[in-house]
Structure 1
Amino acid sequence: MDKATLNVALLIDADNASASTIDPVLTVLAELGTVNVRRVYGNWSKPALKGWRDMSIRHGIEPQQQFDLTKGKNATDMKMTIDAMDLLARGRVEGFGIMSSDSDFMPLAMRIRQDGIPVYGFGTSRTPEGFRQACTRFIDVGALGGGGPDAAAAPEEEPLTFEDTLPRAIGARPPAGRPKKKQVGEDVLKLLIDAYDSVKRDARGYASLSAIGQLAGNRSSFDTRNYGYQHLSDLIEDVPNFQIENRDGGVFVKRLR
Structure 2
Amino acid sequence: MTVYGFGERKTPESFRNACDTFTYLEVLVEAEDEPVTAPLARAASPTLRQDTKLVAGLRAAVASASGEDGWANLAVVGSLMRKQQPDFDPRNWGYAKLSDLVRTIGLFGIEPRPSGGLQIQNKAK
What TM-score, normalized to structure 1? 0.41
Q: Do the aligned partners of 2:71 and 2:120 also contact (CA within 8 Å) in 1?
A: yes
> Which residue is 1:220 aligned to?
85
Partner of 1:99: none
Aligned length: 117
Deviations 1:99-140 (A, max 9, x none): xxxxxxxxxxxxxxxxxx222211111111111111112111
Identity of aligned residues (%): 33
SS of the aligned residue for 2:72 comes to: strand
Deviation at 1:193, TM superposition (A): 0.6
SS of the residue aligned with 1:122? strand
Gap change, CA 1:163 and 1:251, over 3 Å in 2: farther
From 207, 212, 224, the equivalent of 2:72 is 207
Summarize the Cα distance change of 1:200–1:254 in structure 2 as closer, same or farther, 3 Å threshold: closer
Q: Structure 1 CA distance, aligned partners of 2:119 and 2:74?
A: 5
After superposition, the CA RMSD in angstroms is 2.5
1:165 to 26, 37, 40: 37
Cα 1:136/1:164, change in 2 over 3 Å: same
Cα separation, 2, equivalents of 1:161 and 1:242 = 39
Superposed CA offset, 1:166-190 (max 9, x none)? 9xxxxxxxxxxx6311443210111
- Of structures 1 and 2, the one with the larger relative CO (CA 8 A, separation 6+) is 2
Per the normalisation by structure 2, the TM-score is 0.77
- Name the CA shift for 1:129/1:161 in 2 (closer, same or farther; >3 Å): farther
1:133 aligns to 2:17 (yes or no): yes
- Structure 2 segments unaligned to the other structure (5+ residues): none
> 1:208·1:250 contact (CA, 8 Å) conserved in 2?
yes
| Greater radius of gyration (CA) | 1
Decide which of 164, 177, 181 is 2:42's aligned counterpart.
181
What is aligned with 1:142? 26
- Report the CA distance shift for 1:238/1:161 in structure 2 as closer, same or farther (over 3 A): farther
Q: Residues 179 and 201 from structure 1, CA distance in 2 versus in 1: closer, same or farther, beyond 3 angstroms?
A: same
Query: Match of 1:134, as an amino acid?
Result: A
CA apart distance, 1:214: 1.9
Paired residues of 2:27 and 2:37 also in contact (CA < 8 A) = no
Cα distance, 1:161–1:252 mapped onto 2, change above 3 Å:
farther
Distance between the aligned counterparts of 1:191 and 1:210, measured in 2? 14
Return 5+ residue gaps in structure 1 as ranges: 1-116, 147-158, 167-177
Distance change >3 Å, CA 161–CA 240, structure 1 → 2: farther
> Offset of 1:191 from its aligned partner?
0.7
Match of 1:253 in 2: 120
Does the CA-based 8 Å contact 2:29-2:35 persist in structure 1?
no
Q: Please list the CA deviations of residues 143-199 of structure 1 after superposition, one character each: whole Å capped at 9, or x if unmatched.
A: 2237xxxxxxxxxxxx79845429xxxxxxxxxxx6311443210111111111111
Alpha-carbon distance, 1:242 to partner: 0.7
